[in-house]
Amino acid sequence: MATQTCPACASEVKEADLICFTCGANLPRTAAADNDPPAPVTVMQEYLRAETPRRVISPAVLRLTFPTGNVEVPAGTSLLLGRDPADSLVAAAFASYDNVSRRHATVIVDDSGRATIRDEHSTNGTFVNGDRVLPGTGVRLADGDIVRLGGDASAEVSLPRQQADPATF
């Protein structure tokens, strides 16, 4: 097998090497000769090459407007609501609410912008429009809904209008 030199440190490297094992530099790739057989293609590579529609992540952001501040959840993510700063990124918003559990509820916004809230077996419950969410169960959220954690931590849901989901017809 032919050898070449690393452009960064001038060490001798093999033609098939991708990096220089002396300095760690990426090595330039040489074009394959016309008489070389094509590299085998895996089933997964063929699938990825196929003209399949790509999933587009929605730019939608769910906003919960609490009296202590806004909590925003971008599409494709989830956020734990609660008072424990080790678990919840927004724990400061609930510091003054003693009836909000440390791990109270999780808000999930999928890639298409559909939002749900799931009670994490909280002590004082999670409510959507006055109806209690069963522990461990997710409930769909819509623009204008009122979410309440415990007795008095209420927020209005702001969620941009989504296009009709063909799966619901």
Arithmetic mean of pLDDT, 79-95: 89
CA–CA dist 121, 123 (Å, integer)? 7
CA–CA dist 154, 159 (Å, integer)? 16
pTM of this prediction exceeds 0.85: no
- What backbone phi and psi angles, to 5 degrees, belong to 166? -60, -20
- What backbone phi and psi angles, to 5 degrees, belong to 140? -70, 140
Q: What confidence score (pLDDT) does residue 119 get? A: 96
CA–CA dist 91, 102 (Å, integer)? 8
pLDDT (tens digit, 9 = 90+) per residue, 94-143?
888 989 999 999 999 988 889 999 999 999 999 999 999 999 999 999 99
The number of residues making up the chain comes to 169
> 106: closest CA among 137, 142, 78?
78
> 153: closest CA among 119, 116, 124?
124
Q: Which residues pair with 19 in a beta bridge?
A: 26
Alpha-carbon 124 to chain mean position: 28
Taking phi first (over 0 means left), then psi (-120 to 50 degrees means alpha), and beta for anything else, what does residue 11 get?
beta
Is residue 85 predicted with pLDDT exceeding 60? yes
Q: What confidence score (pLDDT) does residue 169 get? A: 46
CA–CA dist 159, 156 (Å, integer)? 10
pLDDT (tens digit, 9 = 90+) per residue, 22-63?
777 777 765 544 555 566 656 555 655 665 555 555 566 899
